Amino acid sequence: MKHFLVVGGTGMVGAGVAQRLAEAGHAVRRGSRQADPASGRVALDLVRGEGLDAALAGVDGVFLMSPPGQVEADRLLAPVIAAARRAGVRKAVLMSAMGADADPQAPLRKAELLLEGSGLAWNVVRPNWFMQNFHTYWLGGILGEDAILLPTARGRGSFIDMRDIADVAATLLLRDGHEGQAFDLTGAEALDHDQAAAILSRAAGRTIRYEDIAPERMRGILVGAGLAPDYAEFLLLILGFFKAGYAERTTDAVARITGRPPRRFEDYAREHAAAWRR
Same domain? 94 vs 135: no
Average pLDDT over residues 219-248: 96
Same domain? 80 vs 139: no
As separate numbers, helices (DSSP H) first and strands (DSSP E) second, the chain gives 11, 11
Asked if the model's pLDDT at residue 23 lies above 90, the reply is yes
- Alpha-carbon span 86 to 89, nearest angstrom: 8
Residue 43 is part of a domain; what is its CATH number? 3.40.50.720
Rg of the chain (C-alpha set): 19
Same domain? 149 vs 276: yes
Average pLDDT over residues 27-46: 94
Mention every residue, 6+ apart, whose C-beta is less than 8 A from residue 261. Answer: 188, 254, 255
Average pLDDT over residues 157-182: 98
* Per-residue confidence (pLDDT) for residue 143, from 0 to 100: 97
In a domain, 164, yes or no: no
* pLDDT bucket at 220, cuts 50 / 70 / 90: very high
* Per-residue confidence (pLDDT) for residue 118, from 0 to 100: 98
Asked if the model's pLDDT at residue 191 lies above 90, the reply is yes
In a domain, 171, yes or no: no
In a domain, 259, yes or no: no
In a domain, 172, yes or no: no
Same domain? 148 vs 213: yes
* pLDDT bucket at 38, cuts 50 / 70 / 90: confident
- Alpha-carbon span 246 to 239, nearest angstrom: 10
* pLDDT bucket at 46, cuts 50 / 70 / 90: very high
Same domain? 104 vs 154: no
Same domain? 211 vs 91: no
In a domain, 258, yes or no: no
- Alpha-carbon span 146 to 278, nearest angstrom: 10
In a domain, 214, yes or no: yes
- Please state the domain count of the chain: 2
Q: Is the model's pTM score more than 0.95? A: yes
Same domain? 220 vs 99: no
In a domain, 140, yes or no: yes
Residue 243 is part of a domain; what is its CATH number? 3.90.25.10
Asked if the model's pLDDT at residue 158 lies above 90, the reply is yes
- Alpha-carbon span 13 to 19, nearest angstrom: 10
Same domain? 96 vs 137: no
Which of these three, 127, 146, 172, is where a domain ends?
A: 127
* pLDDT bucket at 163, cuts 50 / 70 / 90: very high
Helix, strand and coil content of the chain, in percent to the nearest 5, comes to 45, 20, 35
Same domain? 135 vs 147: yes
Asked if the model's pLDDT at residue 269 lies above 90, the reply is yes
Same domain? 244 vs 134: yes
Asked if the model's pLDDT at residue 273 lies above 90, the reply is yes
Same domain? 242 vs 137: yes
Q: Poorest-confidence range of 38-47, 142-151, 256-265?
A: 38-47
In a domain, 137, yes or no: yes
Same domain? 10 vs 29: yes
Which of these three, 109, 127, 145, is where a domain ends?
A: 127
Mention every residue, 6+ apart, whose C-beta is less than 8 A from residue 104. Answer: 110, 113
pLDDT in tens, 95-137: 999 999 999 999 999 999 999 999 999 999 999 999 999 999 9
Which of these three, 127, 144, 179, is where a domain ends?
A: 127
Asked if the model's pLDDT at residue 278 lies above 90, the reply is no
Q: 199: domain range?
A: 130-159+188-248+264-278
Torsion of CA 76, 77, 78, 83, to 10 degrees: 110
